[in-house]
């Protein structure tokens, strides 16, 4: 695995992740002007169910293929067949549960939205194995281009539907087009033709891996989505509209970085054989992720206020300002935790992740309910930031590293320095005029980094120098 191949692959994954999120944000910006917060609340309720069932098709199939490899057709065919059966089972379950869900949330149209999502799940299930094959081959350019084509098409279809007055059905139209295109393009570009076969020997290993990821996915779903359930049930669809919109904004960077980690990290980690090398690589990845994301989330915090929200999205969205700070803490922790999660999947140990997520889910659920009762959506966001952000991260790394026999502080210590520097920078700039905050915050952050983490400051200088040289080369060519 050459360094050049890794760099090229990383650039393609980063390009795809960034562009995809920009398209998603552009769609949210447009729809925020065309739709009401209550419309976002209705579709946000439907996405609670979609997020859950989709976890069992996307993460499981592709991750197992990357972990196991693509040399044995028995495993490939069995994995694809099981993926289709799982997708079919969850689609039928979604159809059966649709009336109950609509009655529980008091939203009659939720039935028809979930029926459409059940069809989309079949396309997603058929696509998953092709994504796994392409990821294992490190076909990042093809993965990126096909996803961008589907994402652009989804944005256009969603926008047209919204302009035609289809309200929250605009999301359904866009999503359906996206998943159909994704399957067609991924199937064509992977070039692999699966057969519907189940090998007895392969089945046992695949199901064991599936059960581990299923437990992890279930716990992760509860931890990451039960806040939406609590808001929808206790506070109503309008409150969910505000909360889910703030969640999408704060998680935009996290989704970009986690997509890169999921594709690049899993492939790289799976091909590392030496245990010490795995520990060293993970520590380096965690450190770089912490130092890159901490100042970016801090900039988001100091820049985005009521005036910015009103200017960009409209004055009806200003209530989300009080929710954003706490969700940023959670967003930062998700980036750090994703690194360890990818390593566990690459080592074939998803069960560790599963047990922790399942055991921590009741604690998270209770904190969300208490938060909703005491502080509305702000209370829920505080619970998310403190319980799922700070407390969860420390316990997650301690439990997983103990199970692997790895020293936990080797990985958590690098995260503490940028976090403390960021808090100090924000605290100093709180009383400054809004227009000056970003500049002084960055100056203070870089100054503290120069003193407390000189090696990382030199890394910043090195990256900036490389970027400047490449920019000069591009300009000279023109």
Residue where the block lists tokens 């390009």: 15
Long-range pairs of 90-96 with CB within 8 A, sequence gap ≥ 24 = 90/53, 90/56, 90/57, 90/121, 91/53, 91/118, 91/119, 91/121, 91/122, 92/118, 93/53, 94/49, 94/53, 94/118, 94/121
Q: How far apart are CA 209 and CA 261, in angstroms?
A: 20
Q: How many CA atoms lie within 13 A of 383 on its CB side?
A: 28
Q: How far apart are CA 75 and CA 203, in angstroms?
A: 8
CA distances from residue 167 to 179, 315, 337 in whole angstroms, order as listed: 20, 19, 36
Q: How far apart are CA 184 and CA 204, in angstroms?
A: 30
pLDDT tens digits, one per residue of 16-69: 777 877 887 777 777 777 777 777 778 888 888 887 777 777 667 887 888 788
Please choose, from the candidates 56, 129, 60, the residue with its C-alpha nearest in 3D space to the C-alpha of residue 88: 56
pLDDT tens digits, one per residue of 88-147: 998 999 999 999 988 888 888 889 999 999 999 999 999 989 988 988 888 888 888 898
pLDDT of residue 413: 85
Contacts of 232 (CB under 8 A, 6+ apart): 41, 44, 45, 48, 105, 240
Taking the CB of residue 16, how many other CB atoms lie within 10 A of it? 23
What is the secondary structure of 57-124 as a DSSP string?
HHHHHHHHHHHH-SS-HHHHHHHHHHHHHHHHHHHHHHHHHHHHHHHHHT-TTHHHHHHHHHHHHHHH
pTM of the model: 0.72
Residues of the chain with pLDDT under 50: 1-2, 478
CA-derived radius of gyration, the chain = 22
Phi, psi of 174 (to 5 degrees): -60, -45
Q: How far apart are CA 231 and CA 416, in angstroms?
A: 31
- Based on the number of CB atoms within 10 Å of its own CB, is 311 exposed (0-12), middle (13-18) or buried (19 or more)? exposed
Phi, psi of 72 (to 5 degrees): -105, 110
Q: How many helices (H) and strands (E) does the chain have?
A: 18, 0
Angle at 153 between CA 150 and CA 154, to 5 degrees: 85
Tokens encoding 76: 């490939």
Q: How far apart are CA 53 and CA 57, in angstroms?
A: 7
Contacts of 299 (CB under 8 A, 6+ apart): 438, 441, 442
Q: SS3 of 239, please?
A: helix
Q: How far apart are CA 53 and CA 4, in angstroms?
A: 37
Structure letter (DSSP) for residue 11: H
């Amino acid at each position: 695995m050459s360094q050049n191949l890794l760099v090229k692959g990383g650039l393609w994954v980063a390009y795809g992740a960034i562009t995809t999120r920009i398209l998603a944000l552009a769609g949210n910006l447009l729809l925020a002007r065309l739709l009401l917060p209550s419309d976002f609340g209705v579709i946000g309720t439907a996405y609670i169910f979609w997020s859950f069932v989709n976890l069992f098709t996307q993460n499981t199939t592709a991750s197992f293929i990357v972990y196991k490899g693509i040399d044995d057709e028995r495993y490939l065919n069995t994995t694809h067949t099981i993926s289709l059966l799982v997708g079919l089972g969850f689609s039928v379950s979604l159809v059966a549960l649709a009336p109950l869900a609509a009655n529980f949330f008091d939203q009659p149209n939720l039935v028809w939205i979930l029926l459409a999502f059940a069809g989309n799940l079949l396309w997603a299930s058929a696509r998953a194995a092709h994504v796994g094959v392409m990821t294992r081959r490190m076909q990042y350019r093809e993965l990126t281009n096909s996803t961008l084509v589907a994402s652009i098409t989804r944005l256009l279809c969603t926008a047209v539907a919204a302009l035609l007055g289809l309200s929250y059905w605009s999301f359904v139209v866009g999503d359906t087009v996206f998943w159909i295109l994704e399957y067609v393009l991924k199937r064509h570009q992977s070039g692999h033709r699966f057969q519907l076969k189940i090998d007895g020997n392969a089945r046992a290993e695949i199901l064991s891996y599936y059960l581990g990821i299923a437990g992890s996915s279930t716990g992760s779903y509860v931890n990451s989505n039960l806040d939406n359930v609590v808001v929808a049930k206790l506070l109503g669809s309008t409150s969910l509209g505000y909360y889910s919109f703030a969640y999408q904004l704060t998680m935009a960077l996290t989704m970009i970085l986690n997509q890169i980690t999921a594709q690049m990290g899993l492939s790289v980690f799976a091909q590392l054989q030496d245990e010490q090398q795995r520990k060293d690589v993970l520590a380096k990845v965690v450190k770089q992720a912490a130092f890159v994301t901490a100042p970016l989330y801090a900039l988001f915090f100091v820049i985005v206020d009521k005036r910015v929200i009103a200017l960009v999205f409209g004055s009806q969205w200003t209530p989300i300002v009080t929710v954003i700070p706490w969700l940023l803490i959670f967003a930062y922790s998700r980036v750090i935790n994703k690194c360890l999660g990818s390593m566990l999947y690459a080592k074939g140990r998803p069960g560790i992740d599963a047990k922790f997520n399942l055991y921590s889910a009741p604690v998270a659920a209770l904190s969300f309910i208490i938060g909703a009762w005491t502080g509305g959506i702000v209370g829920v966001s505080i619970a998310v930031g403190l319980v799922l952000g700070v407390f969860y991260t420390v316990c997650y790394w301690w439990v997983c590293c103990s199970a692997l026999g790895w020293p936990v502080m080797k990985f958590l210590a690098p995260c503490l320095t940028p976090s403390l520097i960021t808090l100090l920078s924000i605290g100093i700039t709180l009383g400054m005029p809004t227009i000056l905050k970003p500049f002084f915050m960055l100056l203070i952050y870089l100054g503290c980094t120069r003193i407390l983490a000189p090696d990382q400051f030199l890394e910043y200088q090195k990256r900036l120098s490389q970027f400047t040289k490449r920019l000069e080369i591009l300009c000279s060519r023109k």
